[in-house]
Each structure stands twice: as C-alpha cells, then as structure tokens.
C-alpha cells in the first residue's frame, strides 16, 4: 500500500509518500509547497493547490491522509490553516481521493511518540521508521508521519476484518 500524507499550512504545506513493502515502511518521496506571507491569499492558495496536484500526479498512491483540524490560539491563523487545508482537500478530490483525517495526537502516538511530542521528536521517530530523516522543514516529516499513521491504521483495520 502507498499513502500520500499532507500537512497543510499557509506558508509551508508538507507532503510525503510512504509505501509498505514486505512489512517495511519505505520513503518514496517528500517535499513541500512554500508560499510567501506577503503574497495575496489567493496566490498562496493557488500555489498550494498546484503544487499538491503536481505531487499527486508524480506518484500513484492508494490513499491520501491529511492532518485533521485542531484548535488554534488565534482565529486568524485557524482561518488561514482552514483555507490551506481546503485547497489540499480539493486537490486530492480532483485526483479521485477522499482524504482520511488524523489528529495530531493520533499521529504522534501511531509513530511511537507521546501525544505531546514536539516536532523534533516526531522527526526523530519518522527517521527511525524510515531509516533516515528526509530533508526539508518539519512540515515534511509531519506529512510523512501522517502517511505512516494511515498505513498503521489501515493495517490494523485489515487485521481486524480477518
């Protein structure tokens, strides 16, 4: 199974593709879409959308997983995150996927970190699971962690069906 994980953000949207091969997790590809905070919001959203479509077209996957909405300290940052998440959902839907949401605590626990783990701890666990920490900002390792979470959860669901 191959999963495309998305960690949406208004300035950096991370994505990562992880495959389960013969019981092992394999890092297929990862990257991010960067925007500039001083750009108009519609330009930023268009760039995120186009970047995710390009990445989805580059690597055929079986599923897409995305970070779920969570509470923010400021309404403005929550709105910006919601907009970025919305265009990520749209990009996935345009390619025929119904993204599965996972909250941050579930992702952290699924990869072996504790629920309050910081980004460095998540990156360390992703590196251990994939054999190396991929290059890029924390948004990339977060996206890979989301993909790994879906692989772990889909495997558990499949085992329960047997």
**Identified catalytic residue from 67, 118, 135, 142:** 67
67 is known as an active-site residue: yes
- C-alpha dist (Å) from residue 37 to 11, 13, 15, 79, 80: 6, 13, 19, 14, 11
Residues near 125 by beta carbon (within 8 Å), at least 6 away in sequence: 111, 112, 113, 117, 145
Distance CA 63, CA 74 (A): 32
Distance CA 61, CA 130 (A): 18
- HSE-up of 10 (CA within 13 Å, CB side)? 14
Cross-strand pairs, 29: 17
Q: What residues are labeled active site?
A: 7, 67, 139
């Amino acid at each position: 199974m191959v999963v495309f994980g998305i960690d949406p953000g208004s300035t950096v949207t991370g994505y990562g593709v992880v495959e389960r091969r013969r019981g092992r997790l394999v890092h297929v590809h990862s990257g991010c879409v960067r925007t500039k905070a001083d750009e108009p919001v519609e330009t930023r959203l268009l760039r995120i959308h186009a970047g995710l479509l390009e990445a989805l077209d580059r690597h055929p996957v079986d599923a897409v997983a995305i970070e779920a909405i969570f509470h923010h300290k400021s309404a403005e940052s929550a709105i910006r995150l919601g907009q970025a998440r919305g265009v990520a959902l749209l990009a996935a839907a345009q390619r025929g996927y119904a993204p599965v949401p996972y909250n941050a605590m579930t992702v952290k626990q699924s990869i072996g970190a504790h629920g309050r783990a910081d980004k460095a701890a998540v990156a360390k666990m992703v590196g251990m699971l994939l054999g190396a920490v991929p290059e890029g900002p924390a948004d990339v390792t977060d996206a890979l962690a989301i993909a790994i979470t879906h692989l772990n959860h889909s495997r558990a669901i499949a085992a329960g069906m047997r």
